[in-house]
Structure formats: structure tokens, C-alpha cells
């Protein structure tokens, strides 16, 4: 089955349930396929002063690239939630130009990528996209207001009538009736507006160990998640923040996406079992086009449809 337009193909009984209760496949660190190996290192922060060392940047690139294909390809594959981490490059001659980041800066700027998303959304009006903008690295106090206002203004002008205003119970049908199919979550309370949704909580295991990832997500699903707002279960493994990281990054013939691919089948099996006990909303992953990730998450909705 092709999942390019999976939302419009869901059973009719799912068109009127809140989007918070749909299972939605999402992309973790969505722009990391585009990292620029020639940029300075952003994180880990303790490595920033060594940014001139090419082999170190290469290691960061190898272990920070969590996606393999472009935003358009992720959209075509069926991903509908995007984790977009914003940054400004220091000393950029353009005062309002922004990029994405994960360890390194991306090659492509924010406005170019948002235009790509807008073009796709215009061609697929029944597919509702959730864009989660966060981090805002390099937004120094003196320029932060200018950068936020410019970015928000660009979002409003670009997406225009496609933007869904904040509402208590958005559904596919209500979005379709209004001709809306873009939701923008903006992780900065100081700049909340009617067209910007508040932060979406992202639960994740903060570990490379699948058992620990599953345990943390179980805790979130059973005790912490909201039933009246979006939430994300992140299947993504996370590298250690201490010397244990060397055990991974010094593997010359390995990389982060290989680690994810090896663990994905068992995590997806757990998702199917866990969803029967505690339903999930957005499920995000690295390498979203691999191992039937999108198919597994979308099919969770069919179980729900039969149960109604």
C-alpha cells in the first residue's frame, strides 16, 4: 500500500475523532539528512572549540544524521509530524536567515524547506501536517525578538489559509471543511498566537537500550500523557552524554542509522502490543522510510476504527 494520502483514505468513522486520538507517524530530527559537514559543530557543546577538525565534524555528521531522505520524500512516505529544530548561524551576513540543526547546521535554510512543505501541502489538501518548531539555537537576546517575529511573519504569509487556528478538538473532517491542513507548534511561550499551537510534549527513552526506551514510554503512556492534546512517543535511541559515547562513535564501520535499523523491528512489534493497552498519538522515529514504520503506525488506526 502507498501511504502518500493515507489520511484521506482512513475509514469514515475516524474522520470525526480528535487528531489527538489518531496514530500519526512522525519524523525525529526531520532535517538531519541535510547536515553540512563543513559547518561548525553546535552540539555536543564541549566540542564546539574543535570545529575546525574535519575528522571530528565527520564523526558528528555520521552520528547526527538520523534521516536519510528529503522532507518531500518523508511526506510522500506518510510522515505527518516533523521535528524541526531552528538555529541561526553566528555572523551570518543575512540578519534573519535561519537554518536547522542537529549536531551541525543544515545546508538548506528554513524558508526554503517551509516553501517545499507548503507546495506539498497544497497538492495534498486532505493530509494534515504537524510542524513542531523548537530549540531556536543562536537566538541571542539582542536579536531574538527580531528573529522570532520574522519567522512567524514568514510562516503566516507562506501558509496563509492553510494554517489551522488553535481549537480544542481538531478532527480530519473539521480541517477538511475549513480547507486547513497545517498545524504549527511553536516552542516559545512569549510568541504564542492564534495560529501557533503550544509545545507538543515529546517523550523518549534518552538511552540506546531498547528496554529502557520502552520502559520510559510505558511510564509516559500510563501516567503522564494528555488525552486532550498532541503528544509524541519517540522511538529514537539517544547517544550517551558521557564518555560512554565513545563506545558507539569509534565504530569505524557503523553509523546511527544502522543502529536504528537494527532495533526498529522489535520496537515496532512493541508499539503494536502496547497500543492495545495504552493508545498512542504521534509516534516519531529516525529513518522513517525503513522497516514498515509508517505502515505499522497507520494500521493502528484501523484497529481503532473496528473497535468503535
Q: How many Å apart are CA 126 and CA 195, to the nearest integer?
A: 19
List 83's β-bridge partners, or say none: 132
Q: How many Å apart are CA 96 and CA 149, to the nearest integer?
A: 10
Q: How many Å apart are CA 47 and CA 69, to the nearest integer?
A: 27
DSSP code for 49: G
User: For the chain, how far is it from start to end, CA to CA, in angstroms?
Assistant: 24
Catalytic residue flag (residue 61): no
Catalytic residue among 101, 102, 275, 291: 102
Q: How many Å apart are CA 120 and CA 177, to the nearest integer?
A: 19
Pairing relation of β-strands 129-137 and 201-204? unpaired
Catalytic residue flag (residue 28): yes
Catalytic residues: 28, 102
Amino acid at each position: 500500500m502507498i501511504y502518500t494520502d493515507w489520511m484521506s483514505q482512513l475509514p469514515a468513522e475516524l474522520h470525526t475523532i480528535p487528531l489527538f486520538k489518531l496514530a500519526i507517524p512522525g519524523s525525529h530530527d526531520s532535517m538531519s539528512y541535510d547536515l553540512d559537514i563543513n559547518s561548525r559543530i553546535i552540539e555536543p557543546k564541549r566540542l564546539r572549540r574543535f570545529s575546525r577538525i574535519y575528522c571530528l565534524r565527520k564523526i558528528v555528521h555520521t552520528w547526527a544524521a538520523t534521516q536519510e531522505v528529503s522532507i518531500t520524500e518523508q511526506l510522500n512516505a506518510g510522515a505527518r509530524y516533523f521535528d524541526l529544530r531552528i538555529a541561526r548561524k553566528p555572523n551570518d551576513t543575512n540578519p534573519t536567515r535561519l537554518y536547522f540543526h542537529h549536531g551541525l547546521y543544515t545546508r538548506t535554510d528554513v524558508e526554503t524547506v517551509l516553501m517545499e512543505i507548503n507546495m506539498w501541502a497544497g497538492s495534498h489538501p486532505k493530509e494534515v501536517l504537524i510542524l513542531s518548531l523548537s530549540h531556536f539555537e543562536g537566538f541571542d537576546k539582542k536579536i531574538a525578538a527580531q528573529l522570532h517575529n520574522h519567522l512567524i511573519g514568514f510562516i503566516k504569509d507562506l501558509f496563509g489559509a492553510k494554517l489551522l487556528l488553535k481549537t480544542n478538538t481538531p478532527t480530519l473532517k473539521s480541517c477538511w471543511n475549513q480547507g486547513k491542513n497545517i498545524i504549527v507548534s511553536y516552542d516559545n511561550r512569549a510568541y504564542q498566537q492564534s495560529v501557533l499551537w503550544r509545545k507538543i510534549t515529546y517523550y523518549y527513552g534518552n538511552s540506546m537500550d531498547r528496554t529502557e526506551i520502552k520502559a520510559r514510554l510505558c511510564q509516559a503512556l500510563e501516567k503522564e500523557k494528555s488525552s486532550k492534546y498532541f503528544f509524541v512517543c519517540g522511538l529514537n535511541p539517544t547517544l550517551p552524554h558521557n564518555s560512554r559515547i565513545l563506545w558507539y562513535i569509534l565504530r569505524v564501520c557503523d553509523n546511527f542509522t544502522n543502529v536504528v535499523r537494527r532495533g526498529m523491528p522489535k520496537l515496532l512489534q512493541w508499539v503494536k502490543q502496547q497500543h492495545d493497552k495504552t493508545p498512542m498519538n504521534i509516534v516519531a522515529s529516525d529513518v522513517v522510510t525503513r522497516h514498515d514504520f509508517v505502515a505499522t503506525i497507520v494500521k493502528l488506526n484501523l484497529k481503532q476504527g473496528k473497535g468503535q
